[in-house]
Amino acid sequence: KPAVAGYFYPGDAQEIKLLIQELQQSPLGPGRNLEKVPFFEEVNGVVAPHAGYIYSGAVTCWSFAALSRINRETTFCIIGPNHRGYGASVALSEEEEWLTPLGKVVLDLEAASFLKENFPVFAFDEQAHFAEHSVEVQIPFLQYFLSCPFKIIPIVLLDQRKRVAQQIAEALYELSKEKNLVIVASSDFSHYEPAEIAEKKDQQAISYILNLDVEGFYAFLQKASVSVCGPGAIAILMLYQKLKDAPPPRLLQYAHSGEVSGDFSQVVGYASLVFPG
């Protein structure tokens, strides 16, 4: 069952659809007909924010708009940070389906079992997923924007170190030889900084992502005290892109909470990036 419906996003299906439609058409969104979104023949993954929809939803729309033209059955591996500290270091779910107000989503248990059985970094652990919002909030966007059949692999990360990210990226690369796999890296950027400082830090962090410089990304976050909450998820997607020998990612949209709330004294940064195939 959803943990944060009614909090991070509406608890009613029609209200979710209306809100996403509104966010899509807002000044920060990708447009009514997604006319602002470049077309990508193949997509390996996206980075998408995971705050309350009213704050980050317009930016999140860009990420899922970039996935909306996928027309074959796809497994979406949604990777987010563990905000609550419960459960395994790298937690899969073995539930058969997850529920949102927009309906049921089927989990790809065959893929999850492949990961668990072949790569010791993974564990099945429902406790890690209970009450965690970073994966859940992405699912209604998938349900809204996608017309292709899909399944999901939710992964929650307590351990976001580069070494762990490398192991997960390699595992997903092996899985991608058997499945049409797309990664959704769930992360917000700077937290509770003045807008000017947040924008500057986030632009620098994003430059490392665009260059697929994983070492530089981690080093910069530490050196500049950048409070990106999902560095592990982003690093996994960067490393996966390199394993795929794919083109560099592209920034689709960046904004911060102050642009919605009007409070520029303490903002949270949000970025949408696409990783072409």
Report which of residues 4 and 154 the model is more confident about. Answer: 154
What pLDDT, on a 0 to 100 scale, did the predictor assign at position 137? 92
Segment among 15-24, 78-87, 136-145, 230-239 with least mean pLDDT: 78-87
What is the rounded average pLDDT of the residues 182-199? 96
pLDDT tens digits along 102-136: 999 999 999 999 999 999 999 999 988 887 778 99
Give the confidence band of 167 by pLDDT, cuts at 50, 70, 90: very high
- Looking at CATH, the fold of the domain delimited by 13-276 is given as Protocatechuate 4,5-dioxygenase; Chain B (3.40.830)
Report which of residues 128 and 19 the model is more confident about. Answer: 19
- Judge whether residue 23 has pLDDT over 70: yes
Report which of residues 41 and 92 the model is more confident about. Answer: 92
Nearest to 156 by CA among 236, 217, 97, 64: 236
CA distances from 244 to 110, 261, 276 (A): 22, 39, 10
**8 A C-beta contact, residue 144 and residue 68:** no
What pLDDT, on a 0 to 100 scale, did the predictor assign at position 6? 66
What is the rounded average pLDDT of the residues 6-11? 77
What pLDDT, on a 0 to 100 scale, did the predictor assign at position 7? 62
The proportion of the chain whose per-residue pLDDT surpasses 90, expressed as a percent, equals 85
Give the confidence band of 259 by pLDDT, cuts at 50, 70, 90: very high
Which range scores top for mean pLDDT: 5-19, 214-228, 263-277? Answer: 263-277
Give the confidence band of 74 by pLDDT, cuts at 50, 70, 90: very high
